[in-house]
Amino acid sequence: MLAPAPFLFDLDGTLADTLPDIAASCNHVRARFGLPPCPTAMVRGFVGDGARTLLARALQPALPAEPAAAARALDDAFASYVVHHERQCTVHARLYPGALAALQALHEGGHPLAVVTNKPARFAAPILRALGLERLLPVVVGGDTLPQRKPDPAPIRHALAQLGAEPLGATMIGDGVQDLRAGKAAGVRTIACLYGYGDPTALRAEGADAFWSAFGEPTD
């Protein structure tokens, strides 16, 4: 008898809408650099590759041209973001409709479940606790868990190892091309979430085994 298949989930834009909190912390840092607030829709386009890359995109007009100076500025920006986001990250975060019921059903069916996100684990874990998902998603691989982040397959492989599961039959679910590329490189099935923060056209062009128009709702 085959063991229940594992499911791995991205967090931001896949399980939960966390964009308002990301935008609040992003704009806090922008203000420190003398920049005006970014509209939330613009911050949406910065999400997906981890907090430091988000800040590099958000602060681009204010960063020094010299690489070493830019790196120091980003270090300062990231430290400020961490302090702010530790307080902010759970304020507005909300599960997408249908996510809790679907996760509960998978858990009751014996499916191993994990989160594989490029968000630092120091933020991902409190969000999952605040949303009541800690018991359902016991394994969390964040953007700071390993030296590699998605689209590298290493975080997926690490999550599967933590679950004691094999890639065969596993599924990676996410709203970014990073999720799809990591899943393909790890040899797992992929589901693209068209309702999240990623560009649906880019997700379609990247290709996936299935597409969701809302959480758990397949579409052509």
Asked if residues 163 and 114 have their Cβ atoms less than 8 Å apart, the reply is: yes
Q: Residue 107 and residue 103: Cα distance in Å, rounded?
A: 6
| One-character DSSP codes across 16-35 | EE-HHHHHHHHHHHHHHTT-
SS3 content of the chain, % helix, strand, coil (to 5): 45, 15, 40
CA-CA distance, 91 to 80, in Å (whole number)? 18
- Catalytic residue flag (residue 144): no
Q: Per the residue annotation, which of 10, 12, 21, 175 is the catalytic one?
A: 10
- Distance between terminal CA atoms of the chain? 31
- For 129-141, b/e burial (b = at least 16 CB within 10 A) is eebebeebbebbb
Query: Dihedrals φ, ψ of 3, to 5°?
Result: -70, 150
Within 10 Å of residue 199's Cβ, how many Cβ atoms?
17
- DSSP labels, 168-199: TT-EEEESSHHHHHHHHHHT-EEEEETTSSS-
Positions marked active-site? 10
